[in-house]
Amino acid sequence: MNRKRIVFLTGTRADFGKLKSLIAITQQSKEYEVHLFVTGMHMNSLYGSTIDEIRKCGFDNIYPFINHDSIDNMDRTLAKTIDGFSHFIAEIKPDLVVVHGDRVEAMAGAITGSLNNILVAHIEGGEVSGTIDELIRHAVSKMSHIHLVANEKAKTRLIQLGELPSTIFILGSPDLDLMNPKKLPKLSDVKKYYNIEFDNFAIAMFHPVTTEFKSIQKDAKEFVNSLIDSDENYIVIYPNNDLGSHEILNEYKRLEGNRNIRLFPSLRFEYFLVFLKNSNYIVGNSSAGIREASYYGTPTVDIGSRQNNRSQGESIFHANNERKSILKAISLAKNFKKDTTNKDSDFGQGNSDQIFLKILNSDKIWSLDCQKQFQDVNYE
């Protein structure tokens, strides 16, 4: 039997969390041969060498590729990833390339796949944020043939971009497949694994906004000052490896040795979810504060512009990059009554893996033409 060959490309701990359940269910099927192209932050020891966590998952055919150097230029990372992935698919000859989100690694996968007449599936296109990531996400969508979106809003945006409705499938957000508390480890086990002794704690994640690089050092300093001045217990996770990450990490040096704070380059995704579910709040500018935190009812202090156009909710408290504003939002988050019953159904029901496999098993996507067509929107 000739199995269809599918390549999943992952470059960050976040996108692997989105892809994990999809990879697992695809590998379990006898219809498909699964390959993983692992690059980006996964290959960087500074951020925890998370390829080791991927290997522990038991997936077959893992191909590691280093696409970065000491200079965090997104254009150079894009070029290197295209070069490496091009050589990889020339050897593997996949039937489908699967990418996620808004990172340059996803763009590299979409560009390389489409230019080689290989079908590309893009997960969670049609989202908005307000940063350079949004431009990358839309560009990835235009280079992709199959769109696996979170909800109807995202589908509508892709239609506005000229994508054919017949190529857009509502998948939900795949990380919800892993978020069911019944599937997660116990908090006591996770705290023991990471040697966390706090009874009460919050999570802090602060990523660079590449278009605001000139102010990143000042913004990072204000963020760290806020953590220290709030006198709360924090689990602090390193930023993405974008331009400006070194400035944030330099400020994080001031947190070393602080009895209230534990610093981690990365956390296992399921373990991170356990901490998020049980935290008093999450502070920073991570999308986890908008989506995953809302699922658990965990309040969020959302700082700056990085999540400007994302979903809003009563548990999300916005602040600018000034210490005074951040501390005020932290005070509001601390006093917010956590609602653990508030599940956001706008991102699916936690069965994205089943929907994904059903889409793969249909003849519809495999008959798609690699030559895309643009569909005009009739506004009359």
Residues 149 and 124: beta-carbon distance below 8 Å: yes
> For residue 108, what pLDDT is reported?
98
CA dihedral (110, 116, 117, 122) in degrees, to 10, reads -10
Task: Set out the domains of the chain in order of their start, with CATH numbers.
Answer: 4-179+350-367 (3.40.50.2000), 181-334 (3.40.50.2000)
> For residue 72, what pLDDT is reported?
67
Alpha-carbon distances of 280 from 126, 138, 268, rounded to whole Å: 31, 34, 20
Counting as low any pLDDT under 70, the low residues of the chain are 1, 70-72, 311, 340-345, 380
Q: Report the distance separating Cα 137 and Cα 126, nearest Å.
A: 8
Residues 330 and 313: beta-carbon distance below 8 Å: no
Q: Which amino acid is at 357?
A: L
Return the bridge partners of 317, or none. Answer: 301
Predicted structure pTM score: 0.91
> For residue 183, what pLDDT is reported?
84
> For residue 343, what pLDDT is reported?
59
Give residue-wise pLDDT tens across range 164-177. 999 999 999 999 89
